[in-house]
């Protein structure tokens, strides 16, 4: 007797494609029982890894590019770096042509991206305000805590967040959760809500809640705590008190807000008892592990996105290494996204990161995990 061809058997078999192991349900009737005479052949469930589907749209180089956020000078500069390299984010700074936001040019840049692009900004209020001429001024964190309740601050932040969103911003590198009593004009100074960690936590929580409600990303900074550091990381190395001294106050906001939905920015800080000498926090595996695991300062594991502080314009890092080495060191250490303030070196950085993946210095599984973490932060569903 001639055997039935395998191709025919394949055609006769019903194939169901689903995610997360979803299978067919049975009605319990005899005709649906696979063992019952005359019942149809059982369905074959083909499972898809939904995360793999999302990751599969990127080339290996584009995956690495998703881990970069770079400063842009104009809409043309932004569109070029997004179209040619598919970076995951752009940064709007004081050096950016304000027409980019004022004239509604963000959508044309977003259109060049395979997936939604992070459009980031430093808009804390007070002296760190990039768009006060477009959305109005806001008081510094210290003045805010002295003149508003957390609920009033939440309401004020809702208004400003909506204005930022209307400009095309998707992520604000705020709130500053440094705990500090420095003079107002010091590097942190009035950017800190208070020298009381509970006050800092209460106002930061109000800010993050408002940003979450509007649909914008917020970023707590500067982990593990810049408020009592020795200097200004823009000008050179900064040494914090020992880790044991940071736990009670400086790290309290991160401990209390680990599950708030905010990302975390790691500063260029030398931390005795934590970082290896001459290896600042932003490129330190020990610092990334402290934040990610929570072990060592009583926090829950942090599952959100970890950003670096600017890697190209601050002497605490640039005096030690060039931008390509700094980005590789940060991502290898465990950061999800490396930030710097120019598009000039993007291709060079990606060339070096590709070599790091090939050599095994930067595991591709770690890259994939960061790409997926960033997708969730952006509000992109990787479910299928």
234 a catalytic residue: yes
Cα→Cα distances 109→32, 81, 82, 88, 374, Å? 53, 9, 7, 12, 19
Measure CA of the first residue to CA of the last residue in the chain; give whole Å: 44
CB 54 within 8 A of CB 34: no
**Rounded CA separation 52/223 (Å):** 31
Task: Select which of 77, 256, 309, 310 is catalytic.
Answer: 309
Task: Select which of 234, 245, 322, 325 is catalytic.
Answer: 234
Give the 3-state secondary structure of the chain.
Answer: CCCCCHHHHHHHCCEEEEECCCCCCCCCCHHHCCCCCCCCCCCEEEEECHHHHHHCCCCHHHHHHCCEEEECCCHHHHHHHHHHHCCCEEEECCCCCCHHHHCCCHHHHHCCCCCCCEEEECEEECCEECCHHHHCCCCCHHHHHHHCCHHHHHHHHHHHHHHHHHHCCCEECCCECCCCCCCCCCCCHHHCCCCCHHHHHHHHHHHHHHHHHHCCEEEEEEECCCCCCCCCCCCCCEECCCHHHHCCCCCHHHHHCCCCCCEEEECCEECCCCCCCCCCHHHCHHHHHHHHHCCCCCCCCCCCCEEECCCCCCHHHHCCCCHHHHHHHHHHHCCCEEEECCCCCHHHHHHHHHHHHHHCCCCHHHHHHHHHHHHHHHCCCCCC
**Rounded CA separation 103/98 (Å):** 8
Phi, then psi, of 218 in degrees rounded to 5: -115, 160
222 a catalytic residue: no
In this structure, are strands 269-270 and 338-340 parallel, antiparallel, or unpaired? unpaired
Phi, then psi, of 91 in degrees rounded to 5: -120, 130
The residues carrying an active-site annotation are: 234, 309
């Amino acid at each position: 007797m001639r055997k039935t061809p395998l191709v025919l058997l394949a055609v006769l078999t019903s194939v169901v494609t689903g995610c997360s192991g979803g299978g067919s349900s049975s009605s319990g009737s005899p005709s649906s029982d696979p063992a019952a005479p005359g019942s149809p052949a059982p369905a074959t469930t083909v499972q898809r890894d939904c995360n793999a589907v999302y990751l599969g749209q990127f080339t290996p180089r584009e995956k690495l590019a998703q881990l970069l956020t770079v400063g842009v000078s104009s809409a043309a500069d932004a569109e070029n770096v997004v179209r040619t390299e598919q970076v995951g984010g752009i940064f709007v700074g004081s050096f950016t042509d304000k027409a980019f936001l004022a004239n509604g040019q963000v959508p044309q840049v977003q259109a060049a991206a395979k997936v939604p692009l992070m459009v980031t900004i430093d808009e804390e209020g007070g002296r760190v305000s990039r768009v006060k001429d477009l959305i109005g001024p806001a008081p510094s964190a210290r003045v805010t805590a002295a003149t508003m309740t957390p609920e009033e601050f939440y309401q004020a932040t809702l208004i400003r967040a909506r204005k930022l969103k209307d400009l095309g911003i998707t992520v604000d590198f705020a709130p500053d959760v440094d705990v500090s009593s420095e003079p107002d004009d010091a590097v942190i100074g009035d950017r800190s809500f208070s020298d009381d960690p509970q006050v800092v936590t209460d106002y930061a929580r109000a800010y993050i809640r408002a940003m979450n409600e509007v649909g914008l990303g917020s970023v707590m900074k500067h982990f593990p705590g810049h408020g009592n550091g020795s200097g200004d990381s823009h000008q050179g190395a900064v040494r914090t008190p020992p880790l044991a001294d940071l736990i009670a106050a400086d790290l309290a906001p991160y401990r209390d807000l680990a599950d708030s939905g905010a990302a975390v920015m790691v500063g260029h800080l030398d931390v005795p008892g934590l970082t290896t000498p001459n290896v600042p926090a932003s490129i330190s595996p020990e610092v990334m592990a402290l934040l990610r695991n929570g072990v060592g300062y009583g926090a829950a594991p942090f599952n959100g996105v970890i950003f670096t502080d600017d890697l190209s314009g601050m002497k605490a890092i640039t005096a030690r290494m060039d931008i390509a080495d700094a980005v590789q060191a940060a991502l290898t250490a465990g950061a999800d996204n490396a930030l710097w303030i120019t598009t000039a070196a993007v291709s060079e950085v990606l060339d070096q990161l590709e070599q790091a993946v090939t050599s095994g210095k930067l595991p591709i599984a770690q890259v994939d995990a960061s790409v997926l973490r960033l997708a969730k932060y952006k509000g992109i569903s990787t479910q299928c």
